[in-house]
Amino acid sequence: MSEQAYLVAEEAAPIETGDDVGVRWRTLTSADRTPTSLLTSGVCEIEPGGALNLHRHPPLELYYFLAGTGIVTLGGEERRVRPGDTISIPGNLPHGIRNDGTTLLKLFYVFPVDSFDEVVYTNL
């Protein structure tokens, strides 16, 4: 697929969910959906009391927090996060996020892969 400029409106991307309670996301860039390669990105929202359970996957992942507060588990460490924070998560490092606040926790995520299909999650 050749690279070209394009625009993705967040509200136009379909909402996706999984087994985690109170978690939903929208994939914004992925080679199976957009004319892109090398990066897959999206936004994730976690409701108060919700959590993206502990998991791992081979590619590196970056989180940039947009709204709300929460706790990110990285291996055996917990880090408090708030808007403006960025976390780099090495490949295969167990990680998860829980919203311990009273408002929606929202983050932007990026993987250095062509498509979201290449991110194979292992739940822990």
User: Does residue 90 have a pLDDT over 60?
Assistant: yes
pTM (2 decimals)?
A: 0.94
Q: Cβ contacts of residue 13 below 8 Å, gap of 6+?
A: 26, 27, 28, 42
Flag whether 6 is in a domain. Answer: no
Q: Which domain holds residue 50?
A: 13-111
Flag whether 84 is in a domain. Answer: yes
Note the pLDDT tens digit of each residue in 9-61.
Answer: 999 999 999 999 999 999 999 999 999 899 999 999 999 999 999 999 999 99
CA distance 68 to 86: 14
Flag whether 119 is in a domain. Answer: no
| pLDDT band per the 50, 70, 90 thresholds, residue 76 | very high
Closest CA to 103 of 77, 66, 52, 78: 66
Flag whether 79 is in a domain. Answer: yes
| pLDDT band per the 50, 70, 90 thresholds, residue 2 | low
pLDDT reported for residue 123: 93
Flag whether 58 is in a domain. Answer: yes
Flag whether 123 is in a domain. Answer: no
* CATH code for position 70: 2.60.120.10
- Domain count for the chain: 1
| pLDDT band per the 50, 70, 90 thresholds, residue 4 | confident
